[in-house]
Amino acid sequence: LPQVVFAGKSNVGKSSVINKLLGRKNFARVSAQPGKTVHINYFVIDRKMYLVDLPGYGYARVSKAEQQRWGALMETYFALGLLTVGIQIVDIRHKPTRDDVTMADWFRASDKPWIVVANKLDKIKKSQLEGNLAEIRQTLLLPAEVPVIPFSAEKGIGRDEVLEHIYGYIGKEGSEQ
């Protein structure tokens, strides 16, 4: 099955985005202990795909050892070459962090399709939108073909666009096999 991989910094709203995309309320749990999950959750969705939930990163109070475990886990997952499409979630309000840049490096190096979901759109003014999107694109060094999709898990904005990309990439892989 194709693997749709979700990654994002702790508290960026990864669980909320996943729940919104699936149209479920409590599929991915909203975590009480950010940064504590150092394992990968796999879910089979509609017998069509794996939703792969990578552990949230960049939580300030995580020990060096836990950060290293995160790095080792990424190394293992990406080395296996299993992902079909990557969904990287960032906060539309802020310049991407160093950890976001590191995560983007993993996706870029994977040579697989990848989209960036810029979440919490409801928290910025319209006038900030273009500038913030440009900053995200520049900071993450996104190749031109990687879309940045403004999203609000709170308001449900951007859902159809993200799903279109996901199904587009899954369909492509399906027809090759």
Q: Is 123 one of the binding residues for ligand GDP (CB under 6 A)?
A: yes
Q: Is 16 one of the binding residues for ligand GDP (CB under 6 A)?
A: yes
Out of 2, 7, 14, 158, the residue judged to bind ligand GDP by CB under 6 A: 14
- Residue 29 class from Cβ within 10 Å (0-12 exposed, 13-18 middle, 19+ buried)? exposed
User: Which amino acid would we find at residue 177?
Assistant: Q
Beta strands in the chain (DSSP E): 3-8, 41-45, 49-53, 85-91, 114-119, 148-150
Cβ atoms 37, 79 nearer than 8 A: no
Q: Is 88 one of the binding residues for ligand GDP (CB under 6 A)?
A: no
Q: Which one of the spans 62-70, 72-80, 116-124, 142-150 is the region binding ligand GDP (CB under 6 A)?
A: 116-124
Q: What is the dihedral of CA 83, 66, 151, 121, to 10 degrees?
A: -160
Phi-psi map region of 13: left, alpha, beta (phi>0 left; psi -120 to 50 alpha): left
Out of 2, 55, 56, 86, the residue judged to bind ligand GDP by CB under 6 A: 56
Q: Is 119 one of the binding residues for ligand GDP (CB under 6 A)?
A: yes
The site map against ligand GDP for 145-164 (x = CB under 6 A) is -------xxx----------
Task: Give the residues lining the site for ligand GDP (CB under 6 A).
Answer: 8, 10-16, 30-31, 34, 56, 119-120, 122-123, 152-154
